[in-house]
Amino acid sequence: MLRSTTLVTAVVAATVLTSAPAQAAGPRSEIGVDRTERHQVIDGFGYSIAFQRSSLVHNLSAQKREEALDLLLDRETGAAPSILRLGIGSSATDQYDSMLSIQPTDPGGPDATPNYRWDGWDGAQVWYAKEARKRGVDRFYADAWSAPAYMKDNGTDTNGGALCGLQGVTCASGDWREAYARYLVQYAKFYRQEGIRLDELGFTNEPDWTASYASMRFTPAQAAEFVKVLGPIARRAGVDVACCDSFGWQQSDAYVEAIEADPVARRYVDLFTGHGYASPSDRPLPTKATTWMSEWAPSSVADGWNEAWDSGKGTDGIAIAERIHDTLALANSSAFIFWLGSSRGGTAALMQVDDANDAYRVSSRLYAFAAYSRFVRPGAVRLGIDGAPEGVKVSAYRNADGTEVVEILNTTNATVSTGVDLKRPTAYLTDSTHNLEKSPDIVSEWGRHTTVELPPRSLTTLVGKRPGRG
């Protein structure tokens, strides 16, 4: 909204769905990690910097800017994203809430020589991507919300409309399919000259949803059709193709099925993507290919800016932690990409930036995100879980370096005591009074089955090694 994978070693995750939150601690139940049960490889965690949201951070004073960047990007102390999602512009104007096109005016038709323009800034996304690279981010996914107005049947880059030349779409200006494909690949080439390699390229955003901002419609059949135009051009340029960022996770099924049913289209799609608005990411998509939950954030319309961990609102940190858990453990997604890292006003972004007053504020959502992103690194493998206490959701992972991470979300209102077969783990606690802080006191027993006291309504992140190793 306006809003591929390399197998390395193993990581574990699984889910224990719960009944209503308990009011008192139940009987002790061990959390077992099934290291023989391996699920998806994790590509990473990220957020979007589209629609000039990066400029808000850039507008801060030098000191505030560095503080905000460290909180949003740093591997050790910040949100620690491993993926950034960029927006490919379609607008003829360069202003907040829009994204400037690299070809804002019609060059004279789809067969005319392009008149691309590049400012090296791209609504501050180039600057932000370079800052991210300095802090270890090395995967960049660029996605278009719309083609430029002159390529569409409605003559504007907003309010839906369709790409001229697709089946069922006839325009007096001709067939713009190949010109649009080359336009997208040229965007990737511009980033490459800035030293940023775009790994994945998406040609549509929420193709099943018409929005008043930049948007464009594709049916599943039209998406499969366009993949066969873009795919060969992107492949020659060394960029992977992602599809289709549907408005809801279950709505992705129709796009996946249309592409899977077309052998040529399937050959060119490297990654299937879906959003979590119309339906949540809580079960796998109908494909064996890699899938990403590529955008979601809770609505801030009712909540406004909310920094709380557990106030009963959808924008609470604990609600975001639960959505991340479900996306990984139920949907088998290899990535979780939040909508925005930063924005202004009554936003549900990880950070609120008030550039006019040189100030920023951080929500508990950032720490919920970081509890996973700092420790479950690209190349980690999700493992299985055998048993867990009632009211507790658990996922586990093994990183490429052999470390294991167990994420434990206590959704009950009581302290829960449990054992975990993880060797001498370091415990990090995120709740109403702890922002992803080391908490050795909650680990009360060493040994093959470490004992952990899980505070009520909390996320505990355990980082250690499997028993008998090291």
Cβ partners under 8 Å of residue 316, min gap 6? 306, 308, 309, 310, 364, 365
Q: Does domain 4-39+376-470 sit in CATH 2.60.40.1180?
A: yes
* Alpha helix (H) residue ranges in 342-401: 364-373
| Tokens standing for residue 409 | 């979300």
Q: What is the pLDDT of residues 5-64, one digit of tens each?
A: 333 333 333 333 333 333 444 445 789 999 999 999 999 999 999 999 999 999 999 999
Query: What pLDDT is attached to residue 447?
Result: 53
Query: What pLDDT is attached to residue 7?
Result: 31
For the purposes of burial, counting CB atoms within 10 Å of the CB of 196, is it exposed (0-12), middle (13-18) or buried (19 or more)?
Answer: buried
Query: What pLDDT is attached to residue 468?
Result: 61
Query: What pLDDT is attached to residue 448?
Result: 62
**Comma-separated ranges of CATH 3.20.20.80 domains in the chain:** 43-375
Q: Is the peptide bond before 244 cis (omega within 30 degrees of 0)?
A: yes
Query: What pLDDT is attached to residue 3?
Result: 40
Query: What pLDDT is attached to residue 14?
Result: 38
Query: What pLDDT is attached to residue 139?
Result: 98
Q: Domain 43-375 has what CATH class?
A: alpha beta
Q: What is the pLDDT of residues 339-361, one digit of tens each?
A: 999 999 999 999 999 999 999 99
**Comma-separated ranges of CATH 2.60.40.1180 domains in the chain:** 4-39+376-470
Helices 177-193 and 220-236 sit at what angle, rounded to 10 degrees?
Answer: 40
DSSP class per residue in 4-17: -----S--------
Residue with tokens 């959390």: 31
The tens-digit pLDDT sequence of the chain (470 residues) is 444 333 333 333 333 333 333 344 444 578 999 999 999 999 999 999 999 999 999 999 999 999 999 999 999 999 999 999 999 999 999 989 999 999 999 999 999 999 999 999 999 999 999 999 999 999 999 999 999 999 999 999 999 999 999 999 999 999 999 999 999 999 999 999 999 999 999 999 999 999 999 999 999 999 999 999 999 999 999 999 999 999 999 999 999 999 999 999 999 999 999 999 999 999 999 999 999 999 999 999 999 999 999 999 999 999 999 999 999 999 999 999 999 999 999 999 999 999 999 999 999 999 999 999 999 999 999 999 998 999 999 999 999 999 999 999 999 999 999 999 898 899 999 999 999 999 999 998 765 668 999 999 999 999 998 776 55
Q: How far is CA 456 from CA 122, 386, 394, in A?
A: 45, 22, 15
Rounded distance, CA 324 to CA 330, Å?
10
Task: Give how far the C-alpha of residue 140 lies from the chain's centroid of Cα atoms, to the nearest Å.
Answer: 11
Query: What pLDDT is attached to residue 28?
Result: 52
Asked whether 192 and 237 are in contact (CB, 8 A), the reply is no
Query: What pLDDT is attached to residue 159?
Result: 98
Rounded distance, CA 184 to CA 187, Å?
5
Query: What pLDDT is attached to residue 6?
Result: 33
